[in-house]
Amino acid sequence: MQKKLTARGIASAIALALFAGINTYPATAADKELVVWADETRGPNLTKVFQAKGDWVSGYKITVKTFSSFDALKEAVDKATDLTGPDIIVGANDWVATGAKNGKLAPITLSAAVKSRFTPNNFFDLSYKGKLYGVPLDINNVAMLYNEDLVKSAPKTFGEMVNFYKANKTKLGLKAGLCVAGGGMSWGAYSVFTALGGSAYTMKNGAVDVTKAPLNPTTFANNVKTYLLGSNGKGNGFFPATDAGCKDNYLAGDVPFAIIGNWEWLDYMEKGFQMNLMPVPGVKAGTNGNMFGSVSGAMLTTYAAKHGVSAGAKSLLTDFFASTAGQVAYQALEGRPPAEKGAQSNAAVSAGQKGFGAAASTSGIPQIGAFLNNNKGGANYWDSAPAFWTAVLVDNKDVAAESKKLANIWRTNTTAGKSDL
């Protein structure tokens, strides 16, 4: 076996020589080899973790192959063969469907104890046709930040934020109340839709609830009218229909609440802002808007079985990638919000990572392309969402009519996309 694996490593190095590096930790003559592929940031950081502690799986040495970019990693995965392919891929959740269809990814089964370390929505992101293909590793999402120099405590309701804006707009020279600094007016602003009672689809216990209409246009329109429009039917200035200038205005102290992305939280900390991250509060106390979230995962390949290391690869998934200790050690270097619950609350994880992770755990929903990219209703989500804000808040169109139009689009798209889950 050792000779065969060495040949595989040599063939992989020749076939994929354009990539950054291979590092192996630790090794004895009797050890089998587990090969992990990752991109230009995750690869070096995994290498450092395994260099510091290499005995996550007894009897196996762990080889990390780093690629020059995420795109280069994806290209290599697409070209991988039984000889050159890895045992585990650290990649994007939207690779799962393709990998499941072409037979490069292998389904896994996790115990109830391991599953309890994550939210059900995280597993949805890494599943296809009811089968799970990976362990959630890190989260991409947005969350709301509030300026503690302006607002002394976390708002409990959407109305509380609106009331603060109205009472202090002139006195403090506020340019808006809540704005979107990260993710744009479709992805980033989704939590405002849901805080006000609208959704593109409904999740229940980690699965899509196809029995429930995604958006009640009457309820949603009434909430938009109450909180975002003035008595003249025009936008009241609390929530702009654009993300332009939001980040700069928040950093300047001219906006009390902002939705930011987890890729930019250090920009805010460097300016002295606290990471008091939270979901956008809903209309009623104790409720909040949902945010889109996607996860990167450690995924088992079918190559592992062909290399005779399937058992070891599965152990690495559960004992390292799905463990608190593993995710803490890795994310201390990688700096992304960990997916595992224990790591999210660990003292070694930064405030920004914890805040985004906690927000995702309480209010994150998977980003389902089968629904969002569908345009059977006349437009896809990515176009219809910002169009709604422009129509109502800029063009002063009737909110009830626009809400009905949006509900029809999203309902049709959800119905049409169900077969592709």
- Each residue of 275-331: pLDDT tens digit? 999 999 999 999 999 999 888 999 999 999 999 999 999 999 999 999 999 999 999
pLDDT in tens, 60-73: 999 999 999 989 99
Q: Distance between CA 338 and CA 332 in Å, rounded? A: 10
Domains identified in the chain and CATH numbers: 2-139+295-366 (3.40.190.10), 141-293+367-420 (3.40.190.10)
Closest CA to 77 of 107, 126, 25, 69: 69
pLDDT the model gives residue 386: 96
pLDDT band at 28 (very low <50, low <70, confident <90, very high): low
Considering only residues 22 and 227, tell me which one the structure prediction assigns the higher pLDDT. 227
Q: Distance between CA 234 and CA 121 in Å, rounded? A: 37
Phi (first) and psi of residue 373, to 5 degrees: -90, -10
pLDDT the model gives residue 76: 96
pLDDT band at 93 (very low <50, low <70, confident <90, very high): confident
pLDDT in tens, 117-162: 998 888 988 999 889 999 999 988 999 999 999 999 999 999 999 9
Phi (first) and psi of residue 130, to 5 degrees: 85, 0
pTM, entire model = 0.80
Residue 224 has pLDDT above 80, yes or no: yes
pLDDT the model gives residue 25: 60
pLDDT the model gives residue 121: 82
pLDDT the model gives residue 364: 87
pLDDT the model gives residue 16: 38
pLDDT the model gives residue 296: 92
Closest CA to 184 of 391, 414, 381, 365: 381
Residue 5 has pLDDT above 70, yes or no: no
pLDDT band at 205 (very low <50, low <70, confident <90, very high): confident
pLDDT the model gives residue 357: 83
pLDDT band at 209 (very low <50, low <70, confident <90, very high): confident
pLDDT band at 12 (very low <50, low <70, confident <90, very high): very low
pLDDT the model gives residue 358: 84
Residue % of the chain over a pLDDT of 70: 93
Residue 20 has pLDDT above 50, yes or no: no
Q: Distance between CA 49 and CA 3 in Å, rounded? A: 26
pLDDT the model gives residue 24: 60
Residue 410 has pLDDT above 50, yes or no: yes
CA distances to 156, 162, 165, 259 from 168, rounded to whole Å, are: 18, 10, 5, 20
pLDDT the model gives residue 8: 45
Amino acid identity at 384: S
Query: In the predicted model, what is the mean pLDDT of the chain?
Result: 90
Considering only residues 237 and 265, tell me which one the structure prediction assigns the higher pLDDT. 237
Considering only residues 22 and 343, tell me which one the structure prediction assigns the higher pLDDT. 343
pLDDT the model gives residue 220: 98
Residue 11 has pLDDT above 70, yes or no: no
Residue 18 has pLDDT above 90, yes or no: no
